[in-house]
Amino acid sequence: MQIIGPDFLVFGVDDVPACHDFLTAYGLDPVGYSPEKGGRYIALDGTGLEIRRRDDPSLPPALKTGNMLRLQVIGVVDEAALSAVEVELSRDRQVLRLADGTLRTQDDQGFELAFQVSIRKPLDLPGEKVNAPYAPGRPVNAVGVTQDMPAKPRTLSHVVLFTPDIDTAVGFYRDRLGFRITDTLTGAGPFLRPQANPDHHTHFFIRTPPYMQGVEHLAFHLGGPTELMLAGSRMMEQGFESFWGPGRHKFGSNWFWYFKSPLGCNVEFDADMDTHDDTWAPREAPMGPEASQAFLLQWRAKWAPGGGPPGGPKG
């Protein structure tokens, strides 16, 4: 199956203005926003999130848990790939083809899904370049950071789902949609990538009791670790609450910084994720701090040597 990954995630939320404030601070561009109805929030390549009021009648039904995630819109390569998904899933469930050509159905855990020819627009943007001894990455006189450099989300990266039945969840995405397991955290669950996307994962499943089913976090890619640190620092300076990070994961190698959000889940900045092909041999490690991160940093307000840390004695 020539699936790329999530193009859009749709939420039914309790506080539309709070979500708007969070997502615009995060760096997504609002489209068609109103405080009464919500709107779309777009990354640089056109992927993103859609926010509506929880009681909006146009939303798909909520999970029994009441989780705010209402729909995953998954992009595929072309019409042939869309037809392949339709044929495969129609074997044992209802698959609706809507007037705009998208498909609508559910996975085996009750998560609402849509499939469409991907709306992603290729970006002509450089990634972060790093200078190393004897291996310069940046041109001479090109500085690595400025305080006002842009740090905007480039593309919707991945979604992490709480699910009570890991085997059923993985079986659907692996056996029916052709996803591949890249790595597994024992006691939690596996990371999966679709065939048309080399990213380490677009989906990760975590085993939880049924009453917790829903989205745990979502993430957007940035252009590199420096953009991630700038974007996260700007969020902190605006008063948003960090949940985890900054740091760097082991599985996937991606830099991360998670923030608490009014979407009922955490929202992550990520950068520099590993890519894989079908020759990759999946790894497995017990779930825990040693497997979750290579290192974890602690953000603090700026200070200068000789002046002491904020709130501390002056030197």
Using a pLDDT cut of 70, give the percent of the chain over it: 97
Tokens of residue 114, six digits: 């849509």
**295-to-160, 229, 265 alpha-carbon distances in Å:** 21, 14, 23
For the segment 290-312, the average pLDDT, to the nearest whole number, is 79
Confirm if 90 and 75 have CB atoms less than 8 A apart: no
For the segment 194-204, the average pLDDT, to the nearest whole number, is 98
The reply to whether 182 falls in a domain is: yes
CA 5/CA 201 separation, integer angstroms? 9
- Dump pLDDT digits (tens) for 37-96: 999 999 999 999 999 999 999 999 999 999 999 999 999 999 999 999 999 999 999 999
271 pLDDT exceeds 90? yes
pLDDT-based confidence at 313, cuts 50/70/90?
Answer: very low
311 pLDDT exceeds 60? no
Burial of 61 (C-beta count, 10 Å sphere; 0-12/13-18/19+): exposed
| Full-model pTM | 0.94
Q: Chain-wide mean pLDDT for the chain?
A: 95
pLDDT-based confidence at 301, cuts 50/70/90?
Answer: confident
pLDDT-based confidence at 307, cuts 50/70/90?
Answer: low
Confirm if 236 and 257 have CB atoms less than 8 A apart: no
Question: For residue 306, what pLDDT is reported?
Answer: 76
Confirm if 172 and 111 have CB atoms less than 8 A apart: no
CATH number for position 28? 3.10.180.10
Buried b (16+ CB within 10 A) or exposed e, 136-168: eeeeeeeeeeeeeeebbbbbbbbbbbbbeebee
For the segment 244-272, the average pLDDT, to the nearest whole number, is 97
Q: Which of 126-135, 276-285, 305-314 has the lowest mean pLDDT?
A: 305-314
pLDDT-based confidence at 315, cuts 50/70/90?
Answer: very low
Question: For residue 297, what pLDDT is reported?
Answer: 92
Range of the domain at 212: 3-120+151-296
The reply to whether 126 falls in a domain is: no
For the segment 100-124, the average pLDDT, to the nearest whole number, is 96
Question: For residue 303, what pLDDT is reported?
Answer: 79
- Dump pLDDT digits (tens) for 6-50: 999 999 999 999 999 999 999 999 999 999 999 999 999 999 999
The reply to whether 61 falls in a domain is: yes
Confirm if 78 and 86 have CB atoms less than 8 A apart: no
The reply to whether 142 falls in a domain is: no
Question: For residue 29, what pLDDT is reported?
Answer: 98
The reply to whether 144 falls in a domain is: no
Question: For residue 291, what pLDDT is reported?
Answer: 87
The reply to whether 155 falls in a domain is: yes
Half-sphere exposure of 25 (CA within 13 A, CB side): 22
The reply to whether 146 falls in a domain is: no
pLDDT-based confidence at 314, cuts 50/70/90?
Answer: very low
**2-to-75, 117, 118, 187, 208 alpha-carbon distances in Å:** 9, 10, 11, 30, 30
Query: Identity (one letter) of the amino acid at 80?
Result: A
The reply to whether 313 falls in a domain is: no
Question: For residue 302, what pLDDT is reported?
Answer: 82
Task: List, in order, residues 6 or more apart from 182 with CB less than 8 Å away.
Answer: 190, 191, 192, 193, 200, 201, 251, 252, 276, 280, 282
> What total of structural domains would you count in the chain?
1
Question: Which of 28, 53, 44, 184 minimizes the C-alpha distance to 127?
Answer: 44
